[in-house]
Structure 1
Amino acid sequence: MRSMVRETKLHVEDLIYPIFVVEGENKRNPVQSMPGVEQLSLDLLKEEINEIVSLGINSIILFGVPESKDEVGSEAYHECGIVQRATSQIKEQFPDLVVIADTCLCQYTSHGHCGVIEDGYVDNDASLSLLVKTAISQAKAGADIIAPSNMMDGFVIEIRKGLDEAGFKEVPIMSYAVKYASAFYGPFRDAAHSSPQFGDRKTYQMDPANRKEALREADSDIEEGADFLIIKPALSYLDIIRDVKNRSLLPIVAYNVSGEYSMIKAASQKGWINEQQVVLEMLTSMKRAGVDLIITYFAKDAARWLKETK
């Protein structure tokens, strides 16, 4: 009877699994701060995707870790970049899997920031053209969805124009519409090798204390043509998820970020919590708050647990 009247249900189709791809062969590099998460070389992707598909997960999001970096992150938009090659390979082998490409420069720039640096600051407008080039190159490689995470002002409309002019009118944009300057991102920077080499990202990511600003950011991306809205992080921002859900008809995506993942893993390894119960409760709380999809490093584990509890 309890399950019959349950108001919020978590499904495996709700989950998006992040994958970090690296150059080289036979590389399976464990991310020390994220137990169970690895960087994978392209030759190991087929095995990984086979497992993901067998679990019923329908979509992944790709993050690239390039071999070389420069001031303008040119590997991000190179036609033979790591994400571009990974995308082409995956779509050839698994055409029905939804491949989302994270569109940013931070992993590819020598300074670790999400845009071009001028006089010690990120130049918003100068960065937009490079982000457009990155999005187009990812779409050409076969990405089903472009997910710009850079938080530059005007990035959605510029990427939309660029995709349309390049013949990719059907490729949707999953915008990181509400992205806070959060301390919960630490382990991700270990995984993606994307830590800023100076300063921080507070000039272009949001103040965690602000609520109304999140609504303005979401409204702006909607007006510019976003097709999905990502809110990041998730667990400490469930109120923001609900606020955005209440005023938008677009699909809402929560990013269950690395710090949220690592805290649960650490407590579980200590034997302080029941990992399965805590993870499923946490993910359900995000669905209850109003999200339609969840990007989470727990996707594979959650898919297995959901099968067990059916």
Structure 2
Amino acid sequence: MATEPGILHWREPAGDVGQLTDVADRVLRSVGAVIDGKPEAIRTALAVLLTEGHLLIEDVPGVGKTMLAKALARSIDARVRRIQFTPDLLPGDVTGVSVYNQGTRDFEFRPGPVFANIVVGDEINRAEPKAQSALLECMEEHQVTVDGITYRLESPFMVIATQNPVEMEGTRPLPEAQRDRFTARISMGYPSPAAEFAMLENHGTADPLDDVVPVTSASEIVQMISLVRTVHVSDEVRQYIVELVGATRRHPEVALGASPRAALHLIRTARAAAALDRRNFVLPDDVQALLVPVIAHRLLLQPEVALSGEPVIDITARLLTDIIARTPIPRPGSAPRPQQRRGR
């Protein structure tokens, strides 16, 4: 089917988007049975999984950060490992180490917990920077290099890390390079009174994670990831993403704007959001809805803005909301045409 070129232009998908959403609905229901009243947080987490990205969950203690990570991991029949980040954690505790085997008189590699499909990193900002940096290669290149030998990680691979706000005792801010590896950051927030009442009634006598069973498999997730990559993004929407990301670099209150990696993560999660809505094309609405979770944690504010007393997470959300309001929504045919090179 063909329509006029523009934002709403679409093409036949390479796979069955309906099948993807059926699996996604099962995962959403499974996690939603554990996390009451947080459908948007669960949906964003699933969108990140379908891009084979990584998720950072930041909030105060006790609001369900680790519970969300564990519920999503248990809903998938895949290899899941958990890392408790503490000040004495070493890089080898994450990636693995080479150990001398006296029987073979040679060194053999013992994989660390990062060799899994889903890695749950609890309180990542309590570890020393050298332990945090052990995840950099894993998250970007899906591989681990130890003693000069590179080991590939299985697909799908996702890091779900939790952290407490930097104002909490014993925490330290993540380096910019580490934050930029995370596809999105979400906050749980306190539940509504109705959701909290339901939590006390349903979960007051038992651990809700005990009832979580896998509703999909790692191989099925890999198929869904491939299908998400076929979702169409028009030139106009691509240009819209470029303008939004570029605006963060020019904003007077921002010292360091979003990176080109941020733009790639934004377009990938927008594809996943469109697929979850049973669409095989991306709308500007998809981009707008994901701009804050995908971009906010990457921004480095001007010192005077960061020290204003307002929480940084609120400042960045306000700045991005303002950028959305000031950036015109693209019209069909508004994207610039690539320049053709002239022959000699």
TM-score where L is the length of structure 1: 0.28
TM-score where L is the length of structure 2: 0.26
Computing the radius of gyration from Cα coordinates, the structure with the larger value is 2
Higher relative contact order (CA 8 A, sep 6+): 2
